[in-house]
Homo-oligomer: A and B are copies of this chain.
Amino acid sequence: MGIGDDAAVLPAPDGRVVASTDLLVEDRHFRREWSSAREIGGKAAAQNMADIAAMGAVPTALLVGLAAPGDLPVAWALDMAAGMAEECARAGATVAGGDLSGAPLIMLTVTALGNLAGRAPVTRSGARPGDLVAVSGVLGHSAAGLALLRAGLSEPAGLVAAHRWPHPDYAAGPSAARLGATSMIDVSDGLAQDLGHLAEQSGVRIDVGSAQLPVSNTLRAAADALGKQDPLDWILAGGEDHALVATFPPVTALTGRWTVVGHVSDGQGVWVDLQRSERLSGWNHF
């Protein structure tokens, strides 16, 4: 992963660069017994490149910091890097540089860079009353996979795989920008909490109809397998799928990858079926 020089020189063809940093700490953001090194690398790359897509940009490069115990097998680090490279290839990006250090536990830092290709960035603050709210990508799969792992289950395998290595639809970000999205975020902390960021930073109210939320049959199967769990909780409060949720002017002709799940109005907060969503809480960072 070295670059053989003090720094990498990367193209920034439109005269700007989009940049985002994520930290992943062992036993907090991943567990070596639950995920392979390749999956951990792939997921680290995915979650950070999703932040780039959520600005409407195309991911172009990653810089990676790996802090690890001296007795970490070299194969683990190489497999991790391979997963990262594989996910980068999905997005059209490359690993451009990095740093290594010893540490008592594994900590991964990923900085992703991206290209807006001449478009204005889509921020969290542009939603307007009357806008549609739409999602692209799966919701709740990663949270369901984590619940299955915690219960010692490995089926449905697709959900466990979605937890170990989500595959965001990176092209949805630039697609949203071209469609005129007024605000956007990737769902990393649960739909309710992430919509809360859009509502707060745009100064609007967001209403979601639970009947409009895409609940897959696999998600229902997992809920059944685990007994009483309502799959909507995974969608509203579970993160890490890195689906994109965006707001669009009401006249927008949305393409097939977007599902309308609600609308924007005057007011504040996120409302699900006309109830405030405060009782729902997503992933707690600290």
Is the C-beta of A201 less than 8 angstroms from some C-beta in chain B? yes
Q: Which of B12, B51, B103, B201 contacts A107 (CB 8 A)?
A: B103
Q: Which of A67-101 contact B (CB under 8 A)?
A: 67, 70, 96-101
Tell me, in angstroms, the Cα distance from A10 to B19 when the chains sit together.
Answer: 8
B51 touches A21 (CB 8 A): no
Identical copies in the complex: 2
A111 touches B6 (CB 8 A): no
**Measured between C-beta atoms, what is the minimum distance from A25 to chain B in Å?**
5
Is the C-beta of A279 less than 8 angstroms from some C-beta in chain B? no
B21 touches A97 (CB 8 A): yes
Q: Tell me which residues across on chain B come within 8 A of A13, comparing CB atoms.
A: 15
Q: Which of B10, B25, B65, B286 contacts A21 (CB 8 A)?
A: B65
Is the C-beta of A57 less than 8 angstroms from some C-beta in chain B? yes
B9 touches A111 (CB 8 A): no
Tell me, in angstroms, the Cα distance from A70 to B9 when the chains sit together.
Answer: 36
Q: Tell me which residues across on chain B come within 8 A of A41, comparing CB atoms.
A: none
Is the C-beta of A104 less than 8 angstroms from some C-beta in chain B? yes
* Contact bitstring A109-130, B, C-beta under 8 A = 1, else 0: 1011110100001011100000
**Measured between C-beta atoms, what is the minimum distance from A51 to chain B in Å?**
4
B7 touches A57 (CB 8 A): yes
Residues of A at the B interface (CB closer than 8 Å) are 4-13, 15-25, 28-29, 51-52, 54-55, 57, 61, 63-67, 70, 96-105, 107, 109, 111-114, 116, 121, 123-125, 184-186, 201, 285-286
